[in-house]
Amino acid sequence: MEVVGFDKEKKTIVNQLIDPKDTRRAVISIVGAGGSGKTTLAKEVYKSAEVKRHFDISMWLTISQEYKLIDILMTMLEKIRKVDDSERQNKGEDYFLTELNKSLRERKYLVVLDDLWPSNNIWTQLQSALPNANNGSRVVITTRFIKLAEEADIISKPHEIKHLNEDESKHLLLKKVFPNRFANECPNEVLPLATQFTQKLVDGL
């Protein structure tokens, strides 16, 4: 997938994730309105070969507003080891918080929490499960809420998604309409319409 307009942001975030000088468990936030591309950017960072090589374990979780903490904890633990039926039926949140913390403590981990909302308070509840072992582990969160991002890590500045400029918007539009052709190969009669459409879109932002 091509990430239009995000090349600089992607490189910056990748460099933050693999920075050997920052050994703390840093939280990198990507902030933007719904549909702004924050999840797409996070996915491109997450799939980066540099990032994949750097961490012992990586996990992606999409967080809905109704998601329960215990469901998130079990999902995360299952990415590390098998969770048996007796644990599912008889254990509560504190148990899974402790187990996840123990399982991650000896690993350099990357956890992506996609679409965090302050209303479900998941980040506050989840922090104790994500140990800071000073081994360069990272958490990436995407959210619509700048305050949540700022409070998640007072050191790391949130990445706020910018709007695409006119050329980037037109390029993205043509890639969507003609996914198997380059923009300069599109029919000539289409280009003025694309320019007119994207100009109106940009002027309206």
Those residues whose C-beta lies under 8 Å from the C-beta of residue 41, and which sit 6 or more positions away, are: 3, 6, 9, 10, 13, 30, 159, 161
Q: Does any domain span residue 192? A: yes
Per DSSP, 155 falls in state S
For residues 54 and 20, membership in a common domain is answered with: yes
Sole residue written with tokens 């509560």: 92
The domain total for the chain is 2
Helix (H) or strand (E) holding 25: none
For residues 114 and 73, membership in a common domain is answered with: yes
For residues 98 and 153, membership in a common domain is answered with: yes
Q: Which residue has the higher pLDDT, 119 or 79?
A: 79
Checking if the pLDDT of 4 tops 70, the result is no
Q: Does any domain span residue 2? A: no
6-41 burial, b if ≥16 CB within 10 A, otherwise e?
A: beebbeebbebbbeeeeeebbbbbbbbeeebbbbbb
Confidence class of residue 162 from pLDDT cuts 50, 70 and 90?
A: confident
For residues 86 and 31, membership in a common domain is answered with: yes
CATH code of the domain in which 12 resides: 3.40.50.300
Q: Does any domain span residue 71? A: yes
pTM comes to: 0.78
For residues 155 and 183, membership in a common domain is answered with: no
For residues 120 and 196, membership in a common domain is answered with: no
For residues 127 and 172, membership in a common domain is answered with: no
For residues 123 and 103, membership in a common domain is answered with: yes
Q: What percentage of the chain has pLDDT greater than the value 70?
A: 77
Question: What local confidence, expressed as pLDDT, does residue 35 receive?
Answer: 83
Q: Does any domain span residue 185? A: yes
pLDDT-wise least confident of 111-115, 143-147, 179-183, 195-199: 179-183
For residues 100 and 122, membership in a common domain is answered with: yes
For residues 156 and 171, membership in a common domain is answered with: no
Q: Does any domain span residue 99? A: yes
Range of the domain at 23: 7-160
Question: What local confidence, expressed as pLDDT, does residue 66 receive?
Answer: 78
The tens digit of pLDDT for each residue in 9-47 reads 999 999 999 999 999 999 999 999 988 899 999 999 999
Q: Does any domain span residue 1? A: no
Average pLDDT over residues 170-188: 57
